Structure 1
Amino acid sequence: MIFVTGPMFSGKKAYLKKLLTLSEEEFEKQVAYDILEDVGKTTDIEKLVTALREYRAVILPEMGSGVIPMDEKALQLRENCGRLAVRLAEEADTVIRVVCGLPQVLKGKPEDRQ
């Protein structure tokens, strides 16, 4: 699995589309993204990790920088994102952080997983 993370709206999805060279339909089937709602609602990170293992790639935004939320739901989302990111990074063959549209390979080699 490829795990792509980075700040919101930093080019993660565009980078992964270019890397994997999948059709839009294939991308929708093989890549988990737009999962923040599930992350915020879960009480079982391991169950979510198990479900996400089925995908070729997972995109999850970084949520650890900035102001700590006062709202309980926003705080839970931030904490869950952090915990999930740690577990996905452990499970993934390749981990890439995208900032300003530029990839930083943190683990593995992206070309090995295409």
Structure 2
Amino acid sequence: MLFITGPLYSGKRTFAAQFGGRQIYEVQDRAAEMTGLQALADELAAYDVVTATEVGGGIVPIDPAERARREAAGRLACLLAARADCVVQMFCGLPTILKGELPKC
């Protein structure tokens, strides 16, 4: 599995499109809906390409529910990165490989 992460509008989908296969985007939104993050990470690891927007930067939300949502998204990203064969961080449309090697297109 190729896991691509980065800020909003950093080029994650455009980059992911070149790899084909089964893809799922914006999985950080699913983290808040699930109580079993391990099970969700296992389910998502079956995809060829998974993308998640980084949500942990910036000001900590005052609302406890929003803080919990952000925490769940970060924990899910850690679980996905551990399961991934390759982890890429996108920034300004530029990929930085954090783990492994990119799959052949």
Q: What SS does the aligned partner of 2:103 have?
A: helix
Give ranges in structure 1 of 5+ residues lacking alignment: none
Residue 40 of structure 1 contacts residue 73 of structure 1 at CA under 8 Å; is this kept in 2?
A: no
Q: What SS does the aligned partner of 1:111 have?
A: coil
Matches within 5 A, 1:58-97: 58-97=50-89
Q: Corresponding residue for 1:10?
A: 10
Q: Is 1:37–2:29 an aligned residue pair?
A: yes
Q: Which amino acid aligns with 2:51?
A: I
Q: Report the structure, 1 or 2, having the larger helix content.
A: 1
Runs of 4+ in 1 over 3 A off after TM superposition: none
> TM-score w.r.t. structure 2 length?
0.91
Q: Which amino acid aligns with 2:69?
A: L
> TM-score w.r.t. structure 1 length?
0.84
State how far apart, in whole Å, the 2-side matches of 1:37 and 1:53 are.
Answer: 16
* Number of matched pairs: 105
Aligned-residue identity in percent: 35
Q: Which amino acid aligns with 1:104?
A: T
State how far apart, in whole Å, the 2-side matches of 1:102 and 1:37 are.
Answer: 23
State how far apart, in whole Å, the 1-side matches of 2:103 and 2:40 are.
Answer: 26
Q: What SS does the aligned partner of 2:88 have?
A: strand
State how far apart, in whole Å, the 1-side matches of 2:38 and 2:44 are.
Answer: 10
Q: Which amino acid aligns with 2:2?
A: I
Which stretch shifts more, 35-44 or 88-97?
Answer: 35-44
Residue 97 of structure 1 contacts residue 106 of structure 1 at CA under 8 Å; is this kept in 2?
A: yes
Question: Structure 1 residue 34: deviation in Å?
Answer: 2.9
